[in-house]
């Protein structure tokens, strides 16, 4: 009898140990909301899809807990946590990443991408990824995919802006990013640093004349109540890298790493599709509910904006330097990062 009890005890102990080993839990942080006005926010919906795929395909061996809304800290804080291995993974905007890896800030340059479709092709290009992804492991980061919050647009209180000349003297709220500050200065505007939660009031009271966010964000935050003149400027893609802490990545088996890569692609597709659907729906709401007007830039107007910010492109291109002269980078070894990106943009714009 004692022997039977001992066998059962050992079996239960081994089962418990196996269960504990199977339930490895990783934390995934991002700053996007979960819902706005009862609508699932695309970036969070994609993060949940990533977590579900990993848990399913690893048979429950790995579970991903998603922490939205900056619950684990702001982006800069989370980036440092992932870098040093105290946070397992995150979605991080290129604007924040550029403080650590300046080269990714090139992706924020105004009027670099003629459309988000071209941007997607550049980001997926294997030569581009070989060059850019090589910047990250040395910083403790492993890039496995992308997230996004759409192309950014103009929203103005009292006029429609479709030319650089109309930007002169306009007070525009911008995020604290050198690329954004200098780009608007190059257009003749006066960039103003106002915290995002205070933007509605600033627009309402006339402290700023203009804001620049994707139109869906402007509608959901009700900026279109007080800044009704919208332009699909698509001047910058709000791109985020989906990154895993290097120690975590290296602890995964090759099979698990592939599951993470597959999950990242699933999340990427969901994020982009949901963004497009949300844009169509919320642009209609902006017009029907808020009485907004939406203008598009002609090819000539877009070219005028592009030419106006080219000095900013060149400044940052020189600042971040050249690709290492390493055979693995092929024909781009020794060339400027910026020139490689522009070549890819031109390739996929044809």
Residue-wise pLDDT for 165-194, tens only, equals 999 999 999 988 899 999 999 999 999 988
Q: Which CATH number characterizes residue 203's domain? A: 3.40.190.10
Q: 170 and 214 share a domain?
A: yes
Q: Which CATH number characterizes residue 32's domain? A: 3.40.190.170
Q: 162 and 247 share a domain?
A: no
Q: Could you read off the pLDDT of 245-266 as tens digits, one per residue?
A: 999 999 999 999 999 999 999 9
Domain boundary among 195, 212, 234: 234
* Residue range(s) defining the domain that contains residue 173: 154-234
pLDDT of residue 17: 47
Distance in angstroms between the alpha carbons of the first and the last residue of the chain: 80
18: pLDDT strictly greater than 80? no
Q: Is 15 inside a domain boundary?
A: no
5: pLDDT strictly greater than 70? no
Q: 178 and 256 share a domain?
A: no
Domain boundary among 234, 251, 270: 234
pLDDT of residue 7: 44
pLDDT of residue 176: 81
Q: Could you read off the pLDDT of 270-302 as tens digits, one per residue?
A: 999 999 999 999 999 999 999 999 999 999 999
Regarding predicted confidence, which is higher, 172 or 36?
172
The number of domains in the chain is: 2
Band of the pLDDT at 20, cuts 50, 70, 90?
Answer: very low
Task: Taking residues 145-170, report their average pLDDT.
Answer: 97
Q: 270 and 208 share a domain?
A: no
Share above pLDDT 90 across residues of the chain, in percent, rounded to a whole number:
88
Band of the pLDDT at 21, cuts 50, 70, 90?
Answer: low
Share above pLDDT 70 across residues of the chain, in percent, rounded to a whole number:
94
Q: Is 229 inside a domain boundary?
A: yes
pLDDT of residue 66: 98
Q: 140 and 279 share a domain?
A: yes
Q: Is 42 inside a domain boundary?
A: yes
Q: 180 and 253 share a domain?
A: no
196: pLDDT strictly greater than 80? yes
4: pLDDT strictly greater than 60? no
Q: 173 and 212 share a domain?
A: yes
225: pLDDT strictly greater than 60? yes
Whole-angstrom CA distances from 201 to 37, 63, 220 are 20, 41, 15
Q: Is 316 inside a domain boundary?
A: no
Q: Is 329 inside a domain boundary?
A: no
Q: 28 and 168 share a domain?
A: no
Handedness of CA 138, 141, 145, 148 (dihedral sign): negative
Look up the pTM and report it. 0.91
Q: Is 83 inside a domain boundary?
A: yes
Q: Could you read off the pLDDT of 44-95 as tens digits, one per residue?
A: 999 999 999 999 999 999 999 999 999 999 999 999 999 999 999 999 999 9
Task: Taking residues 124-132, report their average pLDDT.
Answer: 98
Q: Is 65 inside a domain boundary?
A: yes
Q: 79 and 33 share a domain?
A: yes
> Is the distance from CB of 78 to CB of 69 less than 8 angstroms?
no
Q: 160 and 210 share a domain?
A: yes
Q: Is 122 inside a domain boundary?
A: no
Domain boundary among 266, 284, 302: 284
Beta strands 210-213; 153-156: pairing state: antiparallel
Q: 144 and 72 share a domain?
A: yes
Q: 226 and 257 share a domain?
A: no
Task: Taking residues 106-130, report their average pLDDT.
Answer: 97
pLDDT of residue 22: 60
């Amino acid at each position: 009898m004692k022997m039977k009890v001992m066998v059962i005890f050992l079996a239960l102990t081994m089962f418990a140990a196996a269960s504990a080993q199977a339930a490895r839990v990783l934390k995934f942080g991002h700053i996007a909301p979960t819902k706005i006005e009862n609508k699932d926010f695309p970036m969070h919906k994609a993060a949940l899809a990533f977590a579900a795929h990993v848990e399913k395909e690893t048979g429950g061996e790995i579970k991903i807990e998603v922490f939205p809304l900056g619950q684990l800290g702001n982006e800069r804080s989370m980036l440092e946590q992932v870098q040093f291995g105290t946070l397992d993974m995150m979605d991080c905007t290129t604007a924040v990443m550029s403080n650590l890896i300046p080269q990714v800030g090139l992706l924020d340059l105004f009027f670099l991408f003629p459309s988000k479709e071209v941007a997607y092709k550049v980001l997926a290009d294997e030569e581009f990824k070989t060059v850019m992804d090589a910047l990250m492991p040395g910083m403790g980061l492993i890039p496995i995919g992308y997230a996004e919050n759409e192309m950014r647009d103009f929203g103005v209180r009292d006029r429609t802006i479709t030319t650089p000349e109309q930007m002169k003297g306009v007070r525009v709220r911008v995020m604290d990013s050198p690329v954004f500050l200098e780009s608007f200065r190059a257009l003749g505007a006066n960039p103003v640093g106002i915290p995002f939660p205070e933007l509605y009031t600033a627009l309402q009271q006339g402290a700023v004349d203009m804001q620049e966010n994707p139109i869906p964000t402007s509608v959901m935050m009700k900026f279109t109540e007080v800044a009704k003149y919208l332009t699909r400027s698509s001047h910058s893609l709000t791109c985020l890298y989906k990154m895993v802490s290097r120690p975590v990545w290296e602890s995964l088996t090759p099979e698990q790493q592939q599951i993470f890569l597959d999950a990242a692609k699933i999340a990427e597709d969901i994020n982009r599709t949901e963004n497009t659907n949300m844009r169509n729906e919320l642009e209609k709401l902006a017009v029907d509910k808020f009485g907004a007007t939406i203008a598009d830039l002609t090819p000539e107007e877009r070219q005028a904006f592009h030419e106006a910010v080219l000095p900013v492109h060149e400044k940052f291109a020189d600042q971040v330097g050249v690709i290492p002269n390493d055979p693995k980078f092929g024909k781009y070894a020794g060339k400027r990062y910026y020139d490689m990106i522009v070549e890819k943009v031109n390739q996929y714009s044809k």
